[in-house]
Structures are given as structure tokens and as C-alpha cells.
């Protein structure tokens, strides 16, 4: 009946065309009309995507097994591993795409952490990145080139930090990272452009460290994950519909366990939203995970109790500056991290370098926008750079950008795993600047948690949410 | 028969005029009372038919199916209470009216004595089912599912209308009681072959036969719980019942016309059982297992031996109760976890032990454990097909093994093992759900004490 309703419309346009212009060119019109008719018929037959009411293809589906909030590298990695580790099944996922910080990252990967779990995460991630074309291969698509520069990381330590660095390197070596300690003498020999004043010890990662192109990893993951059947959608999570149960623990105290039933996803630039019914929600929203957690009701309660423990992840703005310096260090420059917190690395082959510095607590910039403060470079970054590498006195700043860290104010390490009270929300966030390099491994860990109920390959139990309530910090000392 | 039909019709004003907090209670109770009335028809003292009027009759084939239909209405109402609780009142009443209307048409179909009357009601059952699937289903795919369901069945049954009109013209009456005495053997000619096909295709699609079964997984999965229950339990049996009635007209063509459909059924049995082993969606698994069990019924009806007819009837009743129970169990899972994927809800035995008991019993009856009527049906079918051709025993044996495999796979995946973290706070089983499972299981287990009620007219 609807098809016949459309015939008069065509008839009218044909008539108008006939009256308006009688030029030649009606033959291509005929072909166009025929293919239009064919397309319409094909869409109506079973299997086509014809919706008689209105087109809702921009909305997420009404139902999904797992909803991953956050479409950056961590969210995509979780989706990839969920699809890869499932015994073959068709669990659908929906990704709610919010603003991702991934592509704004500097892109370094290192194993020089002090917490053993971080080292293991990086080690797996580098193995993933080295074999990226085996993991993320899609039929008929070109292979990925993440432009991995294995130049290593060079962490410099002053007198105060030398002992800590030694113990860290011991832990790293135990986990299997290849790191060597260098004295200032050896430093000067290997890197003549360095000014070793104030440096007591340096640790140099010899293998599996360097930097790569985060955008390429993101694209590769997105492509692969789409080919595995994950659904993407753009939008913003505005609400969680959940239900609570009052239960008693074994010791008799009352807890209220919550369960999320629906996620309301609002479409951009519109008031329209779609309730997505789901079984599991994964919070991989990066810098905005704190807001998402608040929407789910995490942290609503008297402070000091488990209900009142918020997710301590907030966005922190960090600047990255690019400069040009023809007399700078050569092609084998590692990713240098100064004891003052300034870091830089080589970028490309044209004597460009990029770097930055984490501001202290007092001078934290306002995370409301991504505007870059150039005075910060002049006042804080350049002097330290020039002091460490004398050639950088004559650098010329080219460009800069700002990105967000999903900064975990508690202990600057990631939060992975389920929430004890909101039963079906899993976290994969709060990595405070080293999320990109741990993304593949974290994705696998979260997927194992969802599918098997416990961590199998890398045990990330120190990173569970309950440490915020119990006060057990997993302090990472090597944070930039 | 009017003593069942009129109360069923009057259930509709009951829903519309009851107080809002009494609609479920009223309809469920009166539905149960109506089913108690229908139990009277099960008393069939001889192998003749019990004629209520010129239009309605019941014999030992239709009486168990009638009892199943009327028994299922209160069960459907009990199962739908939770997912309709948030809808506005008018919509709830509309849903219940659809179910009652469907019930009414089904009762009249099973007791119709004239074949055109049967056909009209056969088609009429499609409408409330379609409305239930497309309006109250859960996902967007339900529109597609409704389309598949409607058009497959319509395409299959249109030739049936033509065939019935021709036979009426040719024989003068289609009253089933008269047909039994007037039939002559159908000579072998092209037009009679097409007549045979026209008569049988509607029921083959409804059963469904393996090659025409595409509508079933879609419709079962997308339908709400009451829709799935009535589809699996009763609507599929319409096909079996119709086939058993109409094959009396079509001898001796059936002897050789049945071969392709026998092959399709035997092969399809194993195929659909194997698909069950790889299913990840719980409802889809149960839907494919329905296809597999119904394929056995098709084989039985096409062989046309006394034992196979007994097996077919027993299998229809047994499968109706078992499949409906499995769908209720899957729905109780779905209402808590909002996902039908099996792997996301593991280890439920530790959390809901009583529900695990119902799961166990339902899986055991699904895999035809002795001494349930499922086994009796399957065993009769296997034996009669063995006597028809010795080779079928291999296929039947493989099917029984694979049925056991996937039933146990479903049980172990959902019940055993360590529970997943995100189902720790599911609500415990409601009394309503336990009552639902008991009401499914009790007839099933009691019938194993006295199966001769459901063994059909040949017993």
C-alpha cells in the first residue's frame, strides 16, 4: 500500500519534468529511475533495511549485551578482546563514542615502571604492537604501520632519586624488561649532547621501548573491531536506569547492590535519546569516567563508606609542544625524562622534537577547554630543556596542542575491574597518562574479567576499585 | 464445546471491566477454570468421536491438544506479568485480549469438524500472534520476524484453501466425520500430486519442515514470552494436527509423495540439533530444538503407521509442555540480566537453586529421559521409522545423542560453574515463576503415569 502511495509522487515529477524541459537526456533519467525502483524493491524485501516508519539508523540499537562507554583506545581494546576471547558467540556490543584523548597522546611506550603489574601490562602491549598485523588483520585491508621507533626511554635521576631508581630497575629486570643503569660518565659517552649536571643515575630501556603513532593504533582497532561485529554509535550517555537490591553480607551488615538495566544515549545536537537495554556497562570514558561513575550513582553516600567512595578520576589538561632544533640530538635520541618532570622525544626525521612537562599541583591548568598556554613552555619547559640539552637553547617552537589525562587523583594508576556495589559496571580507566601504552593488555584483562570472572593472564587485582575504599595505594613512582 | 468457547469469549469483557489490580488474577483464575472444563473431553471411552454439534467435535487426537491449549492460557498470563508491569493499563488489557483471542481461535481450530472452518481459524490465529510479536517484542528485528512469520505461513496455506475448495466441490462436504466414510483412494496423476502438495504444504510450513523453517528462530526469539510460549507449544502443533487430519484424504499418494519430505525431515532433524550446539542465544537454542522435535513428528505422520501416530501425538503434547517451560526459564533469565546470551549468565545454580531444579527437570525432559512422555513419543517414532526403513535408525540415533548433548550443554552453561560477577544481585525467584514451572512440569510428569490419554485415536 505504501508503494502505491509513492507512485503518484513519481508521476507528478515526471510530468513536471516533461512540462519544464523537453531537452535530451531523458535516457540517463530513465536508468536512474529504474535503479531507484530496484533499490526500493530490494530494501522492502526481507533482509533489507527498510523501516516503514522512519529511519533510525543513527540511533544505537535498543538492546545490546555490553555497552562500552568511551571510544578511545582503551574502549576499543576492551571490545576487541571481548570479541576475540569469547567462545564463539554473537554477543553484541555498542560503543558510545565520546571525545577521546587517544590521538592527542605523545605515543610513548615504556616498561620502566615501579609497579610490577604496570611492567607486565607494557610488556604485553609491546608484544601486541610488534605483532599488530597478526592481531588486527582485516581481510582485504592494507596492513597497519604504527611507525614504532624503538629508541627506548632514558629516565634521569638526581641524587635523591638514585636509590629508588635502582630498586625500580631491579623490579623491572625481574619482570623481564631489558633496562640498563648508566652512570653520568657512561651517559656522556653514549649521548654527548646531554648535560649530566645533577644527574646521579640514569636508566635506559634497551628493548621494547619507544614511541608509535596512536592514531594508527586507534584506526587499526576501530577497523578490526567493526569487522568483528561491534556496533559504533555517536552520542553521549546521559542516564543510567538501574535497580537496587538490599542484601546482607555474611557478617550481617546491610549493603545495597545496584544493577544497571538501561543506558540512555543522547544523540549529538539534539534532544533525542535512545534507551539501550544492556547486561554489562564498561566505563572506559577516560577523562570523563568520573562523570559517568557519578551518573551510575557511585559515590552517593556518606564519605568514608563504600557507597560514598567516588571514582577519583578527573580530567587534567596537559600540553605538548613541538619545536625545531637543527643542532639538537641526533636520530638515536631516546625518550628523555628529566628529574624535573620535563620530557621530550624526537619527532620524525626533520630535527623536530616534541615534549612537555606535567605541571605541579598548584599550577594545574583549567581542564574546561583545550587551549594551550604558551607561557608555560617559556617559563617552565624551555629552561629545563636548555639546562639538560644545551643545544636546545636555540630551539624554535613550532606548534603545540593540549590533551586530557584521565588523572587518578588517588594513586595515578589505572582502575580496572568491577565495582563492588554497582554490580554490572566494569572500569578500565584512570591511567593518568600511560593508558595508551597499556591499552591492549588492559583490554584483555577486562575481557577476561567479564568472560571468566577473574584475571587470567595478568593479575590486576591491585588495581580494583576497592582499593579506594580500603586506602591501599598502588603508588607508581615513575609517572610523568 | 460451547461450554469452553463462551467462557473464553467472556474472558475479554472480564479483562476490560476488571479493576486494574485484578486483571491478572481474574483472567488467570478463570483461565484455569476453563482448562479444568476442557479436561472432561479427555475421557474418550471408545475410538469414536465425541460430537458436540454440527460444527464442533473432539476425539482422542484433538482432546489432548485442546487441554494443552486451555492449560496454556493461564500460564502465559502468569509469565507475562513482569514484563508488562510498566505498561499503561490499556495496553495491558489489549495484550491480554490478544492472548484470549488467540486462545479462542485455537480452541475452535482444534475442535472444528469442517475443514474450511478449520482453515479459516487456522489463518485467523496468525493475526493475534503477529500483533503480539510485532507490538510487544523486544528488539527492532521483530518487524522482520513478524514479516517472515506471516508470509511464510500465508504462502503455504493459500494452496490449501484452493485444494479444500476443490475437494469440497468434488466430494460435496468437508465435514471431517463424513470424509472418513466417503474417501476413495486418490489415483496417481499430476493434478493429484499437486493436490497433495497443496494440502500438505501449509502444515509443513507450520511444523516447520527443515527447508521452510526460517521463520521459526526469528519469530520465537523476537516474540515476548507469551508469544514464544504459545508459538512453541500450540501453534506448531496445529501443523501436526492438520497433517494428521488431512492425510486421511490423500492415500495412497502419500506412499511415494512423502519421500522428499521424509528426507528433509530426517536430515533436518540432525542439522537443527547440530545448530543448537553452536548457539549462543538461549532462546534461539530452544527454537531450533523445537524444529528438531517437530521434524520427528513430520516423519511419524508421513509414515502413517499406528505406532507412529501414537508417537506423534504423544510427542506433540510432551514437546508443547517442555518447550513452553524452557522458554519460561529462558525468560526468567532474561528478565534479570537483560541479555539472552548464555555465557553472560553462568553458574546460576549457586544463586537460584530452586530455579536450577526446574532447569534440570526441563532439560531432562527435553532430552527424552525415561519414563517421561517425551521418551514414549520419541521411542514410538524411532521404532516405527525403523520398521519403515532400517537405515533411519542411524539418523534417529545420532539425533537422540545430539539432543542430549545440546540439552546438557544448555544446562551446564547456564547453571554450573562459577557465577559471573555481574549477576550477583539478581532478584531471587518469584513464587509466580516457581508456580509457573510447577504448572508446566506437573502435567508432564503425571502423564507419564497414564500416557494412554495422549496416545491418540489409534490406541
Burial class (CB in 10 A: 0-12, 13-18, 19+), B20: exposed
% of chain A surpassing 70 pLDDT = 87
pLDDT value, residue A2? 41
Overall size of chain B counted in residues: 459
User: Which member of B143, B339, B426 has the closest CB to residue A65?
Assistant: B339
Which residues in chain B touch residue A263, judged by CB atoms under 8 angstroms apart? none
- Which residues in A lie closer than 8 A to residue B144 (C-beta atoms)? 46
| % of chain B residues with pLDDT over 90 | 69
Which range (A123-127, A191-195, B182-186, B399-403) has the least confidence?
B182-186
DSSP letters for A78-115 = HHHHHHHHSSS----EEEEE----GGGS--EE----SS
CA distance B148 to chain A (A): 7
- Inter-chain CB proximity B148 and A46 less than 8 Å: yes
Cα A148 to Cα B8: distance, rounded to the nearest angstrom: 74
Per-position DSSP letters for A32-50, written without gaps between them: HHHHHHHHHHHHHSTTS--
B222 contacts in chain A (CB < 8 Å): none
Q: Per-residue pLDDT tens for A182-218?
A: 888 988 898 888 888 888 889 998 888 888 888 888 8
If one counts every other C-beta atom within 10 angstroms of the C-beta of residue A16, the result is: 10
Picking from A88, A258, A453, the nearest residue to B421 by CB comes out as A453
d(CA B90, CA B96): 10
pLDDT confidence of residue A101: 67
Task: Report how far apart, in Å, the C-alpha atoms of B77 and of each of A166, B24, B99, B337 are.
Answer: 71, 7, 8, 21
Distance from CA of A6 to the nearest CA of B (A): 21
Taking an 8 Å cut-off on Cβ atoms, the answer to whether A259 and B420 are in contact is: no
Least confident of A366-375, B323-332, B396-405: A366-375
What mean pLDDT value characterizes chain B?
91
Give the model's pLDDT for residue A10. 42
Q: Residue B373's pLDDT band (boundaries 50, 70, 90)?
A: very high
Question: Is A145 near chain B, with CB under 8 Å?
Answer: no
Q: With left for phi above 0 and alpha for psi between -120 and 50, is residue A408 left, alpha or beta?
A: beta
Q: Is A31 helix (H, G, I), strand (E, B) or coil?
A: helix
The whole-number pLDDT of residue B433 equals: 95
Spatial separation of the C-alpha atoms in residues B396 and B292, rounded to whole Å: 11
- For the stretch A382-434, pLDDT in tens is 888 888 888 888 888 888 888 888 888 888 888 898 988 888 899 998 888 88
pLDDT confidence band for B366 (50 / 70 / 90): very high
Predicted confidence (pLDDT) per residue in A53-98, tens digit: 666 677 778 888 888 988 888 889 998 998 888 776 666 676 766 6
- Whether residue B338 and residue A279 make contact (CB cut-off 8 A), yes or no, is yes
Cα B244 from Cα B176, distance rounded (Å): 12
Tell me, yes or no, if A175 comes closer than 8 A to chain B by beta carbon: no
Give chain B positions within 8 Å (CB) of A423. Answer: 421-425
Report the pLDDT value the prediction gives residue A16, as an integer from 0 to 100: 40
Helix (H) or strand (E) holding A116: helix A116-130
Whether the pLDDT of residue A304 is over 80: the answer is: no
Predicted local distance difference test score (pLDDT) of residue A3? 43
State how far residue B427 is from chain A, nearest Cα, in angstroms. 8
Look up residue A451 and give its three cell numbers: 568472560
pLDDT tens by residue, B233-283: 999 999 999 999 999 888 788 888 899 999 999 999 999 999 999 888 899
Question: Band of the pLDDT at A308, cuts 50, 70, 90?
Answer: confident
Query: Tell me, what's the pLDDT at B268?
Result: 94
Q: In whole angstroms, give the CA distance from residue A175 to residue A122.
A: 11
Task: Count CA atoms closer than 13 A to A11's CA, side-chain side.
Answer: 6
Mean pLDDT of the region B24-40: 93
Q: In a 3-state reduction of DSSP, which class is residue A403?
A: strand
Q: How many CB atoms lie within 10 A of CB B202?
A: 28
Which residues on chain B are in Cβ contact (under 8 Å) with A453?
418-421
CB contact under 8 A, B338 and A261: yes
**CB under 8 A, 24+ apart: contacts of A46-53:** A46/B144, A46/B147, A46/B148, A46/B151, A51/B143, A52/A2
CB A144 within 8 A of CB A132: yes
Q: How confident is the model at residue B125 (pLDDT cuts 50, 70, 90)?
A: very high
CB-based contact (8 Å) between B350 and chain A?
A: no
Check: CB of residue A153 under 8 Å from CB of residue A209. Answer: yes
Distance CA B252, CA B341 (A): 47
Residues B153-175: pLDDT tens digits? 999 999 999 999 999 998 888 88
Cis peptide leading into residue A149 (ω within 30°)? no
CB contact, 8 Å: B147 with chain A?
A: yes
Assess A88–B contact: CB distance below 8 Å, yes or no.
yes
pLDDT per position as a tens digit, A140-163: 888 888 888 888 888 888 888 888
Per-residue confidence (pLDDT) for residue A52, from 0 to 100: 61
Q: Does A258 touch chain B (CB under 8 A)?
A: yes
The pLDDT tens digits of the residues spanning B41-58 come to 887 777 777 777 888 888
Return the pLDDT at B444.
93
List all residues 6 or more positions away from A275 whose beta carbon is below 8 Å from its beta carbon.
A62, A241, A262, A263, A264, A265
Asked whether the beta carbons of residue B422 and residue A280 sit closer than 8 angstroms, the reply is: yes
Touching B: A residues 409-428, CB under 8 Å? 418, 423-424, 426
pTM given for the model? 0.86
- Distance in angstroms (rounded) separating the CA atoms of residues B71 and B66: 8
Asked if this assembly's ipTM is beyond 0.85, the reply is no
Residue A115: pLDDT band (50, 70, 90) is confident
- Of B195, B173, B193, the C-alpha closest to B183 is B173
Amino acid at each position: 500500500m505504501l508503494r502505491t502511495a509513492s507512485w503518484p509522487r513519481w508521476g507528478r515529477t515526471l510530468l513536471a519534468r516533461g512540462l519544464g524541459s523537453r531537452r535530451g537526456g531523458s535516457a540517463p533519467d530513465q536508468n536512474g529511475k529504474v535503479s531507484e525502483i530496484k533499490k526500493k524493491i530490494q530494501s522492502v524485501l526481507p533482509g533489507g533495511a527498510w523501516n516503514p516508519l522512519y529511519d533510525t539508523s543513527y540511533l544505537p540499537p535498543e538492546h545490546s549485551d555490553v555497552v562500552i562507554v568511551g571510544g578511545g583506545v582503551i574502549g576499543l581494546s576492551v571490545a576487541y578482546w571481548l570479541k576475540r576471547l569469547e567462545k564463539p558467540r554473537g554477543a553484541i556490543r555498542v560503543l558510545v563514542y565520546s571525545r577521546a584523548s587517544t590521538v592527542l597522546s605523545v605515543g610513548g611506550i615504556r616498561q620502566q615502571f615501579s609497579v610490577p603489574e604496570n611492567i607486565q601490562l607494557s610488556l604485553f602491549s609491546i608484544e601486541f604492537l610488534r605483532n599488530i598485523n597478526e592481531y588486527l588483520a582485516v581481510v582485504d585491508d592494507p596492513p597497519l604501520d604504527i611507525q614504532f621507533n624503538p629508541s627506548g626511554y632514558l629516565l634521569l635521576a638526581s641524587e635523591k632519586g638514585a636509590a629508588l631508581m635502582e630498586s625500580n630497575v631491579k623490579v623491572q629486570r625481574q619482570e623481564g624488561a631489558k633496562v640498563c643503569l648508566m652512570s653520568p660518565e657512561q651517559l656522556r659517552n653514549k649521548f654527548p649532547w646531554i648535560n649530566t649536571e645533577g644527574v646521579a643515575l640514569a636508566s635506559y630501556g634497551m628493548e621494547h621501548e619507544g614511541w608509535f603513532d596512536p592514531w594508527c593504533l586507534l584506526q587499526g582497532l576501530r577497523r578490526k573491531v567493526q569487522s568483528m561485529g561491534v556496533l559504533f554509535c555517536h552520542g553521549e550517555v546521559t542516564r543510567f536506569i538501574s535497580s537496587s537490591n538490599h542484601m546482607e553480607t555474611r557478617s550481617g551488615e546491610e549493603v545495597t547492590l545496584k544493577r544497571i538495566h538501561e543506558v540512555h544515549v543522547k544523540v549529538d545536537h539534539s534532544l533525542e535519546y535512545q534507551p539501550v537495554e544492556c547486561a554489562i556497562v564498561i566505563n572506559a570514558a577516560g577523562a570523563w569516567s568520573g562523570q559517568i561513575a557519578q551518573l551510575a550513582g557511585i559515590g552517593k553516600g556518606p564519605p568514608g563508606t563504600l557507597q560514598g567512595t567516588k571514582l577519583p578520576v578527573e580530567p587534567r589538561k596537559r600540553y605538548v609542544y613541538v619545536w625545531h632544533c637543527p643542532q639538537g640530538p641526533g636520530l638515536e635520541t631516546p625518550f628523555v625524562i628529566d628529574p624535573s618532570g620535563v620530557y621530550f622525544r624526537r619527532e620524525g626525521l626533520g630535527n623536530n622534537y616534541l615534549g612537555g612537562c606535567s605541571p605541579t599541583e598548584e599550577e594545574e591548568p583549567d581542564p574546561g577547554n583545550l587551549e594551550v598556554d604558551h607561557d608555560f613552555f617559556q617559563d617552565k619547559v624551555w629552561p629545563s630543556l636548555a639546562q639538560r640539552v644545551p643545544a636546545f637553547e636555540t630551539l624554535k617552537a613550532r606548534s603545540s596542542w593540549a590533551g586530557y589525562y584521565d588523572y587518578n587523583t588517588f594513586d595515578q594508576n589505572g582502575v580496572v575491574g568491577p565495582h563492588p556495589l554497582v554490580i554490572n559496571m566494569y572500569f578500565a580507566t584512570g591511567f593518568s597518562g600511560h593508558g595508551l601504552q597499556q591499552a591492549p593488555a588492559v583490554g584483555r584483562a577486562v575481557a577476561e574479567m567479564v568472560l571468566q570472572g577473574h584475571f587470567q593472564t595478568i593479575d590486576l587485582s591491585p588495581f580494583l576499585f576497592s582499593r579506594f575504599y580500603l586506602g591501599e595505594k598502588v603508588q607508581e613512582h615513575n609517572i610523568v | 464445546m460451547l461450554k469452553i468457547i463462551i467462557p473464553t469469549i467472556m474472558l475479554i469483557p472480564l479483562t476490560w471491566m476488571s479493576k486494574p489490580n485484578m486483571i491478572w488474577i481474574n483472567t488467570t483464575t478463570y483461565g484455569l477454570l476453563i482448562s479444568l472444563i476442557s479436561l472432561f473431553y479427555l475421557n474418550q471411552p471408545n475410538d469414536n468421536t465425541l460430537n458436540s454439534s454440527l460444527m464442533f467435535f473432539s476425539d482422542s487426537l484433538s482432546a489432548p491438544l485442546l487441554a494443552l491449549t486451555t492449560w496454556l492460557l493461564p500460564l502465559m498470563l502468569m509469565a507475562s506479568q513482569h514484563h508488562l508491569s510498566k505498561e499503561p493499563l490499556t495496553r495491558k488489557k489489549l495484550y491480554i485480549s490478544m492472548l484470549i483471542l488467540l486462545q479462542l481461535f485455537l480452541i475452535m481450530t482444534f475442535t472444528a469438524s469442517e475443514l474450511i472452518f478449520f482453515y479459516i481459524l487456522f489463518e485467523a490465529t496468525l493475526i493475534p500472534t503477529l500483533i503480539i510479536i510485532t507490538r510487544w517484542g523486544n528488539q527492532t528485528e521483530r518487524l522482520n520476524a513478524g514479516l517472515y512469520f506471516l508470509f511464510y505461513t500465508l504462502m503455504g496455506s493459500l494452496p490449501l484453501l484452493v485444494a479444500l475448495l476443490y475437494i469440497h466441490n468434488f466430494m460435496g462436504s468437508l465435514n471431517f466425520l463424513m470424509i472418513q466414510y466417503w474417501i476413495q483412494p486418490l489415483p496417481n496423476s499430476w493434478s493429484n500430486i499437486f493436490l497433495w502438495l497443496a494440502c500438505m504444504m501449509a502444515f509443513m510450513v507450520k511444523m516447520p519442515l527443515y527447508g521452510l523453517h526460517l521463520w521459526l528462530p526469528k519469530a520465537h526469539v523476537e516474540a515476548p514470552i507469551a508469544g514464544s510460549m504459545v508459538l512453541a507449544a500450540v501453534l506448531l502443533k496445529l501443523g501436526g494436527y492438520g497433517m494428521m487430519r488431512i492425510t486421511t484424504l490423500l492415500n495412497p499418494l502419500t506412499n511415494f509423495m512423502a519421500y522428499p519430505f521424509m528426507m528433509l525431515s530426517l536430515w533436518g532433524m540432525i542439522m537443527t540439533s547440530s545448530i543448537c550446539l553452536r548457539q549462543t542465544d538461549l532462546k534461539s537454542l530452544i527454537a531450533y530444538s523445537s524444529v528438531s522435535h517437530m521434524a520427528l513428528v513430520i516423519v511419524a505422520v508421513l509414515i502413517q503407521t499406528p505406532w507412529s501416530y501414537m508417537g506423534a501425538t504423544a510427542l506433540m503434547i510432551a514437546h508443547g509442555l517442555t518447550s513452553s517451560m524452557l522458554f519460561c526459564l529462558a525468560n526468567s533469565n532474561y528478565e534479570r540480566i537483560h541479555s539472552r546470551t548464555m555465557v553472560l549468565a553462568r553458574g546460576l545454580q549457586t544463586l537460584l537453586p530452586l530455579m536450577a531444579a526446574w532447569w534440570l527437570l526441563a532439560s531432562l525432559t527435553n532430552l527424552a529421559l525415561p519414563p517421561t512422555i517425551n521418551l514414549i513419543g520419541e521411542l514410538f517414532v524411532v521404532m516405527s521409522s525403523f520398521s519403515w526403513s532400517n537405515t533411519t535408525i542411524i539418523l534417529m540415533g545420532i539425533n537422540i545423542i545430539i539432543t542430549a548433548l545440546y540439552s546438557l550443554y544448555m544446562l551446564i552453561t547456564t547453571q554450573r560453574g562459577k557465577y559471573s560477577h555481574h549477576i550477583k544481585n539478581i532478584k531471587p525467584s518469584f513464587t509466580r515463576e516457581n508456580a509457573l514451572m510447577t504448572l508446566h512440569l506437573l502435567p508432564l510428569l503425571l502423564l507419564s503415569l497414564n500416557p494412554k490419554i495422549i496416545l491418540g485415536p489409534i490406541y
